[in-house]
Amino acid sequence: MALSIVWTKRKEKDKNMSKVIRYDHHGINVAVQEHLRGKHTEHCLCYLCGKFKPGTSENCKWANLNYARCMATPIVVSPVFECAEFVNIV
């Protein structure tokens, strides 16, 4: 019975999912739900953090690691939703 409920909810969720599209991101062809394309910076906590200084030697070490991982593999673009090192921009 429980498996049937889970499967039904999954089918309902699938019907409501956005169309998946492909596009070039940093020279790599990636797939994304259409309504989320290009939204990673809008949702990434780093862009609201005082430690985020991309392109400088003072940039957050975790942001650097996340970016390096994203650039090293064609699998992911990872917006940060939670971070223990977050500092409010004052």
Q: What is the pLDDT of residues 2-31, one digit of tens each?
A: 666 655 666 666 666 679 999 988 788 889
Q: How many domains would you assign to the chain?
A: 2
Identify the pLDDT of residue 70. 81
Are 31 and 20 in contact by the 8 Å Cβ rule? The answer is: yes
Are both 43 and 29 inside the same structural domain?
A: no
Are both 29 and 42 inside the same structural domain?
A: no
DSSP string across 44-89: -GGGGBTT--TTSTTS-HHHHHHHHHHHH-SS--------TT--B-
Identify the pLDDT of residue 38. 86
Identify the pLDDT of residue 6. 59
Q: What is the pLDDT of residues 28-84, one digit of tens each?
A: 888 999 999 988 889 999 999 999 999 999 999 999 998 888 888 776 777 899 999
Identify the pLDDT of residue 78. 79
Sign of the four-CA dihedral 58, 63, 69, 71:
negative
Domain limits for position 85: 38-90
